[in-house]
Structure 1
Amino acid sequence: MTSLPEVDLTDPEVLRDPFTVYGRAREAAPLARLLIPGLGPIWALTRHDGARAMLGDARFPMTADSFMRPQVPDDCLPYMRTMSEMQGPEHARLRKLAAPAFTPRRAAEFRPRIEAAVDALLDDLPTHAEGGQVDLLRHFARPLPMDVICALVGIPERDRPQWREWGAIIAAGAGADFERAIPGIIAGAKAAVAAARAEPGAAGGVLADLVRAHGDDGDGAEDSDRLSDTEIVTMVWHLVLAGQTPTNLIANAVAALLAHPGQLTAVRADPALMPAAVEELIRWCGPALLAIPRHAREDVELYGTTVPEGAKVTALVAAANRDPRVFSDPERLDVTRAPGAGHLGFSHGPHFCLGASLARVQTQAAISALLRRFPGLAMAAPADDLRAPDPGMWRLTALPVTLSPVTP
């Protein structure tokens, strides 16, 4: 076995500046070992070509062990196996049923409703200010994705405040609060499905489509265009909570632009830059630092090293997205960067983020409206002091801003 760089994910330097540490590992070798006390090593592809290839390689499937399995009551267990941990035909069948609602065309068609949700939150933003400051994460970046995905999926309006609370818990990361919330989340999904069945004409969005795809056989349904009772409830809660991806993306993007005045000026001066700017922001400061681990289905040789069957394998997304072999001057944020090799911020392969188009449109709409409505927007505290110590996700714990310049 060749000598490989090792990265201890509990190292304070990793928690403080994962981009630099993961970047050093990338330049040392295309394969590294991530060390997590008590869990053993995880193999990590550090460079763009290797990471992209692994994410699309059937020899590295996601399985139930890829996810931190929360402790939940027994009656919740049937609803915990989501599309994310399925493979092959089983995964393709469920994804095919949900995918039509998340195409780029549908996301573009949904933009007016997204913009309305953005405007409503921005209208309320000044009312949340205290001492001239407002937490943009709490009052804008966090509630927006939940409002949007609830509207898209078809969650009844009366139930959305509760889903907002659950979304805030999910956006904060897995943990005891998440485990405690799961029974309520599943009950909420069951209630939404029941309401859609009781009033078929009132249900809209994805939920209406799923109910129509349910068929008459309940959990015995096996046809490719039908969903069982368990599948439809599972898909509803999974789609709604997976739709929280833009929370940390929007917060990171706003903090990055405010820290780079030249880039902020560029997007203010030319709104047509926004789609390209969002792609660059996903590459440069997207929330995903590591991909969800896969498991080697068999012994696989990677760059002269045998990764044994059953071993966990991930992609260092933060390193791959700043790989100088693919991106010129990769450490520089450049909202005018010409399109080229794609970033891996939404993963790659069969488990490419289903809601990527929706996340893009939300982020574009959110940042465009925010900068237009509040030309004096400024950070009220250094972003580096607000980072969550998380080696797998680049996220803020708060985003305090001033909405207009402070007058003497």
Structure 2
Amino acid sequence: MSAPTENTTSAASAPVDLGDPGFHIDPYARYEELRARGRLVPASLPIPGEPDVLLVTHYEDAREMLADKRMLNDPSPLSPGGDDGQNLRLQAMKAAGVPREYARYMVDASILDMDAPDHTRIRKLVSRAFTVKRVNALRPRVEEITGALLDALPDRAEDGVVDLIEHFAYPLPITVICELVGVPDEERNAWRDWGRRLFTSDQGVRGEALIGIADQAKALIAERRSAPAEDLMTALIRTHDEDGDRLSDDELVSLVLTLILAGHETTAHLIGNGTLALLTHPEQLRLLRTEPGIGPRAVHELMRWCGPIHGTRMRYASEDLEINGLRFAKGQACMALLGSANADPAEFPDPRRLDLAREPAGRRESHMGFGHGAHYCLGAALARQEGEVAFTRLFDRYPGLSLAVPPSELRRERIPLSWRLAELPVRLG
């Protein structure tokens, strides 16, 4: 039986302010309110003019919407005259002071904002680096990097306290992805700094970071072109140079910066959020310690329960259409609210109960922490592996690990639809 039809006009009420501090104090309480308010809820974005978008708040609706090819990541076909005004991401870039010639790397040429056939073409070029077989082959190196970082933690401690975000959660994934892509050791701190500056609420800082990241990517490509190596960047450069129709100049730059940024930011905050969740749920931590085989399922549950990404990139209706009984007008901007979908009791009984055994063994994840559909996270297998290694090795190495401050005193970074710890001070025990 099809779902009842709900018009977008039925959701026409005061838009939700996504910059409301309540989303960073207790986002899941807010998501519960939004689900009760409707399946489609209007929201305003922190962009000049505050254009409204529709939030898809329920699990089944979000899954159907993300899988529907009529929903576009790139709205440019809806503006035949080339007007950038309909593209909310370009508006955000402009508000941050990013010149149009730089914004193209983050929007026009970005695999994250493409639709088929361009999205399919570029995804095929890089997907071989993230197959399960290739990711499994990386595990010994991930274990090695993790062990070295954990061994160094006591030297990082001040008065017995160490910031796990700064000295473990970030260095692990940035080291792994930089080695995979081919970023030299001496340049990795710069990429980490650019990435952290990009994910702030300060528009000016974000704009400077975007420009810096693009320049870094271009310089890195030039360096690797003159000194090829056995890495992903060299393979992408070879694809560009030998068959330019398969990868444009802008796409090459965009791919490099996207792979590096997306390859460490989300994983770093999955490790941070997941560690906090385990420290505040000792019965679940005991389960992780006593059931070694539960590691993969535990990572899935932590990604569902406290994943760092709570909203997808914008989607635009290519025509007047209906999805799962919901109606969208042509050009309507909408977003799947992943944080709400992953806490939807219609899909996850008692959703705010952390249960590391919740995900059935051997089943592809039911949560949408890594998205869904054609834009499902390309590096999900690597992120899951890094999370599994990080959690198991961390608590094996430091069984007495404990929070250095009450959970209520921990600071969250105030970025809309992002759930990120600013720091995680712990005692190693």
Looking at structure 2, the residues matched to 92 and 173 of structure 1 have their Cα atoms a distance apart, in angstroms, of 32
Partner of 1:233: 253
Partner of 1:361: 385
Partner of 2:10: 2
Q: Write the deviation string for residues 237-278 of structure 1: whole angstroms up to 9, x where unpaired.
A: 111111121011110000011010100111011221111000
Partner of 1:44: 55
**What TM-score comes out, normalization by structure 1 length?**
0.90
Partner of 1:275: 296
Looking at structure 1, the residues matched to 380 and 298 of structure 2 have their Cα atoms a distance apart, in angstroms, of 15
Q: Write the deviation string for residues 48-79 of structure 1: whole angstroms up to 9, x where unpaired.
A: 11000101112221127253325335663553
Looking at structure 1, the residues matched to 325 and 302 of structure 2 have their Cα atoms a distance apart, in angstroms, of 34
Deviation (angstroms), 1:338: 3.6
Looking at structure 2, the residues matched to 363 and 304 of structure 1 have their Cα atoms a distance apart, in angstroms, of 37
Q: 1:307 aligns with which of 297, 317, 328?
A: 328
Q: 1:26 aligns with which of 17, 30, 35?
A: 35
Deviation (angstroms), 1:4: 6.5
Within a 5 Å distance, the mapping from 1:2-401 to structure 2 comes to 2=10, 7-36=16-45, 38-63=49-74, 65-67=87-89, 68-69=92-93, 70-73=96-99, 76-80=102-106, 81-172=109-200, 175-200=203-228, 203-216=229-242, 221-222=244-245, 226-243=246-263, 244-301=265-322, 306-339=327-360, 342-385=366-409, 386-401=411-426
AA partner of residue 229 (structure 1): D
Looking at structure 2, the residues matched to 367 and 228 of structure 1 have their Cα atoms a distance apart, in angstroms, of 39
For the 8 Å contact 1:122–1:140, the answer to whether it is kept is yes
AA partner of residue 51 (structure 1): A
For the 8 Å contact 2:199–2:206, the answer to whether it is kept is no
Alignment CA distance shift 1:199-1:10 (3 Å): closer
Alignment CA distance shift 1:389-1:238 (3 Å): closer
Please give the secondary structure, in 2, of the residue aligned with 1:237.
Answer: helix
Looking at structure 2, the residues matched to 375 and 239 of structure 1 have their Cα atoms a distance apart, in angstroms, of 34
Please give the secondary structure, in 1, of the residue aligned with 2:426.
Answer: strand
For the 8 Å contact 1:153–1:204, the answer to whether it is kept is no
Please give the secondary structure, in 1, of the residue aligned with 2:52.
Answer: strand
Q: Which moved more, 1:250-259 or 1:110-119?
A: 110-119
Looking at structure 2, the residues matched to 312 and 253 of structure 1 have their Cα atoms a distance apart, in angstroms, of 32
Q: Write the deviation string for residues 361-383 of structure 1: whole angstroms up to 9, x where unpaired.
A: 11111111111111111111233
- Aligned residue pairs total 396
Please give the secondary structure, in 1, of the residue aligned with 2:134.
Answer: helix
Looking at structure 2, the residues matched to 399 and 383 of structure 1 have their Cα atoms a distance apart, in angstroms, of 9
Deviation (angstroms), 1:360: 0.5
AA partner of residue 417 (structure 2): G
Q: Which moved more, 1:360-369 or 1:227-236?
A: 227-236
Q: Which moved more, 1:383-392 or 1:49-58?
A: 383-392
Q: Which moved more, 1:394-403 or 1:175-184?
A: 175-184
Deviation (angstroms), 1:356: 0.6
Alignment CA distance shift 1:248-1:49 (3 Å): same
For the 8 Å contact 1:147–1:164, the answer to whether it is kept is no
AA partner of residue 105 (structure 1): K
User: Which runs of no fewer than 5 residues in structure 1 stay unpaired?
Assistant: none
Deviation (angstroms), 1:232: 1.8
Deviation (angstroms), 1:204: 2.2
Please give the secondary structure, in 2, of the residue aligned with 1:155.
Answer: coil
**What TM-score comes out, normalization by structure 2 length?**
0.86
Give RMSD over aligned pairs. Answer: 2.3
Q: Which moved more, 1:1-10 or 1:153-162?
A: 1-10
For the 8 Å contact 1:32–1:43, the answer to whether it is kept is yes
Looking at structure 1, the residues matched to 104 and 282 of structure 2 have their Cα atoms a distance apart, in angstroms, of 50
User: Which runs of no fewer than 5 residues in structure 2 stay unpaired?
Assistant: 1-8, 76-86
Alignment CA distance shift 1:273-1:215 (3 Å): same
| 2:428 is the alignment partner of 1:403 | yes
AA partner of residue 143 (structure 2): E
Looking at structure 2, the residues matched to 181 and 206 of structure 1 have their Cα atoms a distance apart, in angstroms, of 24
Alignment CA distance shift 1:175-1:384 (3 Å): farther
For the 8 Å contact 1:287–1:393, the answer to whether it is kept is yes
For the 8 Å contact 1:171–1:248, the answer to whether it is kept is no
Alignment CA distance shift 1:150-1:279 (3 Å): same
Please give the secondary structure, in 2, of the residue aligned with 1:32.
Answer: strand
Looking at structure 2, the residues matched to 193 and 10 of structure 1 have their Cα atoms a distance apart, in angstroms, of 37
Please give the secondary structure, in 1, of the residue aligned with 2:421.
Answer: coil
Deviation (angstroms), 1:196: 2.4
Deviation (angstroms), 1:140: 1.1
For the 8 Å contact 1:143–1:168, the answer to whether it is kept is no
Deviation (angstroms), 1:300: 2.7
Looking at structure 1, the residues matched to 268 and 115 of structure 2 have their Cα atoms a distance apart, in angstroms, of 27
Alignment CA distance shift 1:166-1:96 (3 Å): same
